[in-house]
A and B are shown apart, each in its own frame.
Chain A
Amino acid sequence: MNPVALALRDHRARVPLVGAALLAPWLWSIFLLPLWAIAVSLLLTLAAAVFILVRILPPARDERAADDGGCDAAERLRKARRRDAEQRDLMHQTIFTLHTHVHRWVNTSEHSQGDLRRVQTEVGQVLKHVESAIVQIGESFSAIMNKTAAQTECAMKLLRSEDGDQAAKNGAWLSLPDYIHAYESQLSSVTERMIEFAAVTGAFEEHQRKMREHTVTVDDLLDELRAMAKQTGKLALESSMLAGSAANHRHLVTLTDTIRSISEKAHETTRSIRLNLDAIREQLVESHKTMRTASEIGARAATQAKVDVAQLNLAMMDKTAEVKDAVEHINLIGNDVQVEINRIIVAMQFQDITQQKLERLHQPVLSRVIEDLRVIADESTRLKGEAGYWLNSSVKADAPFQLVRGGVSVPLELREAAVIAADEPHPVPSPVVPKDGGSVELF
Chain B
Amino acid sequence: MARILVVDDVGSMRQIVRTVLESGRHRVLDACSAEEALDLAKVTRVHLVLTDINMPGMGGLELIPQLRALRTYRNTPIMILAKGSADENLEQAMKRGASGWVEKPFTPEGLLGAVNQVLVDFYVNH
Contacts and interface: CB of A to CB of B under 8 A. Distances in A.
A346 B10 contact: no
Given A351-B10, A352-B10, A346 B105 contact: yes
Contacts of B92: none
A348 interface: yes
The secondary structure that dominates the A interface is helix
Size bracket of the A interface: 10 to 19
Interface in A336-352: 341-342, 345-352
A225 B2 CA distance: 97
A356 B89 CA distance: 14
B107 A348 contact: no
B108 A345 contact: yes
Contact of A349 (B54, B105, B109): B105
A346 B12 contact: no
A202 to B, nearest CB: 62
Interface residues of B, number: 16
Nearest to B105: A349
A355 interface: yes
B1 interface: no
A307 interface: no
Interface in B31-59: 52, 54
Nearest to B19: A345
B13 interface: yes
A352 B104 contact: yes
Interface in B83-110: 83, 104-109
Contacts of B20: 345
Contact of A351 (B12, B106, B109): B12
A39 interface: no
Contacts, number: 37
Nearest to A133: B105
A348 B104 CA distance: 11
A348 B105 CA distance: 9
Of A342, A346, A350, A352, most buried by chain B (CB within 10 Å of CB) is A352
Given A355-B10, A356-B54, A349 B108 contact: no
A346 B54 contact: no
Nearest to B107: A342
Nearest to B104: A349
Given A342-B109, A345-B20, A353 B104 contact: yes
Contacts of A356: 54
Interface in A1-31: none
Contacts of A355: 10
B120 interface: no
Contacts of B108: 341-342, 345
A394 B55 CA distance: 58
Interface string A245-260: 0000000000000000
B108 to A, nearest CB: 6
A184 B20 CA distance: 46
A345 B19 CA distance: 10
B16 interface: yes
Given A346-B105, A350-B105, A355-B10, 16 more contacts: A341-B108, A342-B108, A342-B109, A345-B20, A346-B107, A349-B12, A349-B16, A349-B105, A349-B106, A351-B12, A351-B13, A352-B8, A352-B10, A352-B104, A353-B104, A353-B105
